[in-house]
Amino acid sequence: MSKSKFILLILLGAMVFELNAKPRYRIQMWVLDGQTQYLPQKRVWYKTNYFYLPFKVWHSGSYSFQYQSQAEEIIQNWKADEKAKKEWRKSTFIEVE
């Protein structure tokens, strides 16, 4: 096996392991002036101006919440959007002339 094929095999294995092992969503918590803040986060592909790089980073929501249930609701919205995008990709179209 050539060296380049071996490296490619290792990288593909690492990517598959990463997809199965790490959570897609999380909630960051901290205390600010005695009040606990909750910030929902999701893993997204790291994007440059030209293309996506082959690793994911944590992307935070726009603002933090005072209650954990509010942050969980945002995560549920993200999951619903992702599900809708997957269903749309599977849709078929009928072209009418």
The per-residue pLDDT for range 37-87, each reduced to its tens digit, is 999 999 988 888 877 777 888 889 888 999 999 999 999 999 999 999 888
Residue count (the chain): 97
Judge whether 58 and 72 are in contact, CB under 8 Å.
no
Ranges of each domain in the chain: 23-89
Per DSSP, the three-state class of 55 is strand
Question: Which DSSP helix (H) or strand (E) runs through 20?
Answer: helix 3-21
- pTM, entire model: 0.64
The per-residue pLDDT for range 2-22, each reduced to its tens digit, is 777 777 677 776 665 555 567
Question: Which DSSP helix (H) or strand (E) runs through 62?
Answer: none
CA distance 69 to 55: 29
Question: Which DSSP helix (H) or strand (E) runs through 77?
Answer: helix 68-89
